[in-house]
């Protein structure tokens, strides 16, 4: 059994840890509120743009840019997978789950490209960057620090790189894996094809796309609309992941604080029992000594 000094040291250590987890929970809660506000405001806008892009995929076939971004290559030789994680840990299984989902998609769909060295990872977040670099993947290392200054302007640069790489034929398909924010305790893993653009309405068997009436040259309008819509789609995915990260960290730190409280109860009980046992032993020794002296 541990002595009183050891137990007291453990109690002090757990107390210190509990204070840290409490502080981290409060910081995560503060960041979550801001991130949640951003994604709640962004979703309707992004969803409407997705609808427009889906409809555009079914109409205006003469628009060159639409054909460029919607071109499904006959043979997929090279693939880029964007994996969105966080810069820091202590957020439960948030990072691990995203990486596992990406790896599973790679093994299921792109095993041949991986074996041929034609699979590339574009990590968003230091955790994904460190993992894929360590495990010998081809890594685009220019944008993994995006989360340190997350804005539409910075996300647009990444989206422009993805679009340019696809048009130039550097990659035949670009996928993105990220966590979608549902609530503080729940994140939904998403894996989507970013390019080529595929109409989700067509995939899900919905009604035919709207035949838009254009007041101006469709090519001029859609050449601006399609790239912007793709940038909005990418920015939304990163915002979803950012909100999910703070939610996961808040939940993890809340659980860690509760576990520390339970451990403190056990340690205090153990401390009191050990202290009581020591006092009892001392009393018995004093009594035995007094009895021996009286008998002597």
Per-chain mean pLDDT for the chain: 88
Is 288 within a domain? no
Pairing assessment for the beta strands 119-124 and 173-183 based on DSSP bridges: unpaired
DSSP string, 229-290: HHHHHHHHHHHHHHHHHHHHHHHHHHHHHHHHHHHHHHHHHHHHHHHHHHHHHHHHHHHHHH
Q: What is the C-alpha separation between 28 and 49, in angstroms, rounded?
A: 30
Q: What is the C-alpha separation between 239 and 235, in angstroms, rounded?
A: 6
- HSE of 84, CA atoms in CB hemisphere, 13 A: 29
Set 35, 83, 91, 121: catalytic member: 91
- Domain span at residue 260 reads 4-20+254-283
The pLDDT value recorded for residue 226 is: 83
Confidence of residue 66 (pLDDT cuts 50, 70, 90): low
In this prediction, residues 9-36 reach a mean pLDDT of: 93
In this prediction, residues 7-31 reach a mean pLDDT of: 93
The CATH number that applies at residue 127 is: 3.40.1380.10
The answer to whether residues 182 and 168 belong to one domain is: yes
Closest of 46, 31, 9 to residue 91, by C-alpha:
31
The partner residues of 138 in beta bridges, in order of sequence, read 120
* β strands within the chain, DSSP E: 79-84, 119-124, 138-139, 173-183, 186-195
The pLDDT value recorded for residue 248 is: 95
The pLDDT value recorded for residue 197 is: 81
Is 292 within a domain? no
> pLDDT for 202-234, tens place per residue?
444 445 556 667 676 767 777 788 889 899 999
The pLDDT value recorded for residue 203 is: 46
The residue behind tokens 């709640």 is 40
The pLDDT value recorded for residue 68 is: 79
The answer to whether residues 90 and 236 belong to one domain is: yes
* β strands within 74-150, DSSP E: 79-84, 119-124, 138-139
Give CA 167 to chain center in angstroms.
28
> pLDDT for 48-61, tens place per residue?
877 876 676 566 55
Q: What is the C-alpha separation between 150 and 89, in angstroms, rounded?
A: 18
Is 294 within a domain? no
Q: What is the C-alpha separation between 94 and 189, in angstroms, rounded?
A: 9
Is 242 within a domain? yes
> How many residues comprise the chain?
296
Portion of the chain with pLDDT greater than 90, in percent: 65
Confidence of residue 201 (pLDDT cuts 50, 70, 90): very low
The answer to whether residues 146 and 159 belong to one domain is: yes
Is 207 within a domain? no
The residue behind tokens 């094809």 is 193
> pLDDT for 28-46, tens place per residue?
999 999 999 999 999 999 8
The answer to whether residues 58 and 164 belong to one domain is: yes
Is 291 within a domain? no
Query: pLDDT: is 2 or 47 the higher one?
Result: 47
The answer to whether residues 13 and 80 belong to one domain is: no
User: 188 is written with which tokens?
Assistant: 């939904």
The pLDDT value recorded for residue 287 is: 82
Question: Is pLDDT at 163 greater than 80 in this prediction?
Answer: yes
The answer to whether residues 130 and 265 belong to one domain is: no
Confidence of residue 275 (pLDDT cuts 50, 70, 90): confident
User: 202 is written with which tokens?
Assistant: 């067509």
The pLDDT value recorded for residue 113 is: 95
Q: What is the C-alpha separation between 117 and 112, in angstroms, rounded?
A: 9
Rounded to 5°, angle at Cα 139 from 99 and 159: 85
Report the predicted TM-score, pTM, of the whole model to 2 decimal places. 0.85
Among this protein's residues, is 91 annotated catalytic?
A: yes
Is 225 within a domain? yes
In this prediction, residues 257-262 reach a mean pLDDT of: 94
> In 3-state terms, what secondary structure has residue 198?
coil
Confidence of residue 185 (pLDDT cuts 50, 70, 90): confident
Query: What's the number of domains the chain is made of?
Result: 2
The answer to whether residues 67 and 171 belong to one domain is: yes
**Bond before 196 cis per omega within 30 degrees:** yes
The answer to whether residues 78 and 195 belong to one domain is: yes
The answer to whether residues 245 and 258 belong to one domain is: no
Question: Is pLDDT at 286 greater than 90 in this prediction?
Answer: no
The burial of 9, by beta-carbon neighbours within 10 Å (0-12 exposed, 13-18 middle, 19 or more buried), is given as exposed
The answer to whether residues 16 and 77 belong to one domain is: no
> pLDDT for 95-115, tens place per residue?
999 999 999 999 999 999 999
Is 198 within a domain? yes
Q: What is the C-alpha separation between 129 and 197, in angstroms, rounded?
A: 26
The pLDDT value recorded for residue 107 is: 96
> pLDDT for 111-161, tens place per residue?
999 999 999 999 999 999 999 999 999 999 999 999 999 999 999 999 999
The answer to whether residues 42 and 116 belong to one domain is: yes
The answer to whether residues 88 and 11 belong to one domain is: no
């Amino acid at each position: 059994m541990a002595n009183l000094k050891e137990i007291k040291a453990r109690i002090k250590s757990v107390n210190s840890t509990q204070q840290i987890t409490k502080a981290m929970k409060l910081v995560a809660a503060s960041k979550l509120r801001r991130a949640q506000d951003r994604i709640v405001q962004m979703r309707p806008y992004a969803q409407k743009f997705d609808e427009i892009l889906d409809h555009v995929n079914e109409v205006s076939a003469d628009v060159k840019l639409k054909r460029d971004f919607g071109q499904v290559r006959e043979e997929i030789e090279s693939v880029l997978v964007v994996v969105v994680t966080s810069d820091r840990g202590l957020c439960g299984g948030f990072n691990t789950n995203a990486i596992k989902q990406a790896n599973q998609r790679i093994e299921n769909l792109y095993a041949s490209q991986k074996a041929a060295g034609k699979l590339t990872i574009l990590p968003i977040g230091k955790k994904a960057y460190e993992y894929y670099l360590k495990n010998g993947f081809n890594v685009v290392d220019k944008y993994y620090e995006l989360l340190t200054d997350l804005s539409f302007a910075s996300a647009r640069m990444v989206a422009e790189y993805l679009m340019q790489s696809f048009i130039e034929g550097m990659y035949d398909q670009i996928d993105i894996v990220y966590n979608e924010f549902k609530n503080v305790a729940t994140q939904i893993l998403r894996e989507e094809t970013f390019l080529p653009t595929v109409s989700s309405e067509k995939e899900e068997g919905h009604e035919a796309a709207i035949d838009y009436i254009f007041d101006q040259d469709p090519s001029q309008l859609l050449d601006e609309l399609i790239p912007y819509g793709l940038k909005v789609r990418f920015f939304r995915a990163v915002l979803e992941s950012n909100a999910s990260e703070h939610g996961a960290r808040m939940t993890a730190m809340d659980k860690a604080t509760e576990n520390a409280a339970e451990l403190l109860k056990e340690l205090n009980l153990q401390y009191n029992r050990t202290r009581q046992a020591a006092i009892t032993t001392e009393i018995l020794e004093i009594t035995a000594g007094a009895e021996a002296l009286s008998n002597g």
